[in-house]
Amino acid sequence: MNLVVDVGNTLVKMAVFQNGSLQYKIAFPREEFFQKTEEIFKSFPHIEKSVLSSVVKNTEREEDLLQKRSELLILTMDIGQPFTNHYATPTTLGKDRIALIAAAVKNYPGKNVLVIDAGSCITYDFKNTEEEYLGGAISPGLEMRFRAMHEYTGNLPLFNPVENPDITGNSTQKAMNSGAVNGVLFEIDGFINMYKSENKDLTIILTGGDMLFLSKQLKNSIFANPNFLFEGLNYILEFNKTQ
């Protein structure tokens, strides 16, 4: 059994895999790390290996606990990756993006794949049929767009996004929803259409926190997968067993 650990700025996400199959997943605040980790190892005593991906610094205590309980792999640029990385600045490439491309290689070998992660930021990552990662794009996510309009102006309030907003908003709330939500949808569909025009038989994966909200409104056909990051981290762990 494998334990996958993804430490974010506010939440820790964990998943347990057995023979490549997701058995369990959970998300919780970072201050609950030690309690939840102990509970997982108690519930799944056959966990032998773990992988840690973190966007925050100073995870030594978390690493120590995982190392005591399992054989730990820490995701860095120095470990083996199941694809050829052509990113010009590989040391600045987000660990989440590495994991997403790894998942694309595992699930769609020999395919052109565009992975769209709709979270705090929206990331676009492309790998080709030769399992080469070529890069992508980063733009503000939905919540960031609403917050930016509120925090960088004097009068615009903070709203939550609503589905299928009218193009022509006849109130401030509706106008902001039109700009933010429709803007994201137009952006994503535009990126997909551009990649489709340049790459034959393109597979599109949508994941991330806003996946469900956006997937129902996009014009293009996509595969929505909320566990894509977990799958990529687990595949990196498995890949490095043989290195």
Active site residues: 96
**Hey, CA dihedral for 72, 76, 80, 82, is it positive or negative?**
positive
Nearest to 241 by CA among 106, 105, 71: 71
Q: 198: which residues sit within 8 A by CB, 6+ positions away?
A: none
CA–CA dist 3, 237 (Å, integer): 9
Q: What's the full length of the chain, in residues?
A: 243
Neighbours of 16 (CB within 10 A): 23
Query: One-letter amino acid identity for 58?
Result: N
User: Could you identify the residue written with the tokens 């903070």?
Assistant: 158
Neighbours of 179 (CB within 10 A): 16
